[in-house]
Each structure stands twice: as structure tokens, then as C-alpha cells.
Amino acid sequence: MSPSSENRSVPTAGALTAEETLRLIATLPAPEELENRVKAKLQSAPHRRNVIVWPFAAADSWMRAAAAAAIVVVIAGGGWGVYSHIQVAPVPSAVVEPQPLNGAGRFSTAGAMHVPQTVQGPVVATPVIEKEHATDQVPRMKEKAHKRGTPSSTERKRTK
């Protein structure tokens, strides 16, 4: 059984005409010199292998080691050279801060002072307490109570 007959299993009338069209297109000859044009295109295409080969490949491993060491020395030496040329400034013992201009850097008030106009509130006079007078009052009160005949708190306890 050929591949084509294998594919064409029970086609309907409409499909048959459609497949004839497709088959007609599928059997159209390729244009002349197509192969040559494709080959020319392939030859003009850039090749991928553009890597430079290591010139002393596997000949002397010590040369590779020497080259690697030289690279390391050059890089390390360069780094050290840069480091040695940088002069680190001495750290001051006290940091002098610059005087801030107008406080936080704002415009100056030109000496003007803002005094809010407030309502004159009541003035509370602070009471003057005479200490001697206050201490003298306690025995006087006791005397008064004694005269009236009312027992003092200690006497009341005793009577109970």
C-alpha cells in the first residue's frame, strides 16, 4: 500500500476535488537553479567557528601556569599600586561642626520678635502662710475643747 493511497481513505466528492487542487499544488516543480541559489546563500553565510586557538595547546603546562601567574601578579600589583597611592586623611579628634546659618538654614527674622497679644487673665495671688501662726493654733484648739468639756479622742477610748 503506497503512502498516498494510505492517506486517501474514503474521500467524499467535495473533498476529492479539494484534494486534487492540493495535490496539484504539491506537485508543482521547484524553480530552476533553486539548489544553486541555496548553496550560494549557504556559502555566503558566516561560519560560527571564530575562536582563536591557544597557541601552545597542551605543549607545555608550565607555560600556562607561568602565564596565569603573570596575570595574577599584574592584577595584584596594580591593585596594590592603587591602594598605596591613596592617602587616607587623618581622623580628627573632635569634629568641628559648622555654625548653622540662621538655625535651620531659613531666612532670618532680622531681630523681630513675635509677641502674641493675649488677654490679661486673672492674677492669682499666692497665699502667704505664716508658719509660726499655724503651729500655735493647734494647742489653742485643744484648750478650747477642754474648756467645753468634750472628751478628747484618747479619753473616749478609755471610757469605752
Residues that bind another protein (CB under 8 A): 2-4, 6-15, 17-19, 21-31, 34-35, 37-39, 41-42, 45, 47-49, 53, 55-60, 63
Cβ at position 91, least distance to another protein in Å? 54
Single-letter residue type at 152: S
Q: Which is nearer to another protein, 10 or 88 (CB)?
A: 10
d(CA 154, CA 159): 9
Taking the complex as a whole, the smallest distance from the CB of residue 74 to another protein amounts, in Å, to: 21
C-alpha cell at 38: 541555496
Closest CB to another protein among residues 55, 92: 55
Tell which residue, 3, 2, 4, 1, has the closest CA to residue 22.
4
* Least CB distance to another protein at residue 65 (A): 14
Residue placing its CB nearer to another protein in the complex, 69 or 76: 69
Rounded (5°) CA angle 85-87-88: 140
- Exposure string of 73-89, with b = 16+ CB inside 10 Å and e = fewer, is eeeeeeeeeeeeeeeee
Pick 44 or 154: Cβ nearer another protein: 44
> Closest separation between CB of residue 72 and another protein, Å?
22
Report d(CA 104, CA 68) in Å as an integer: 59
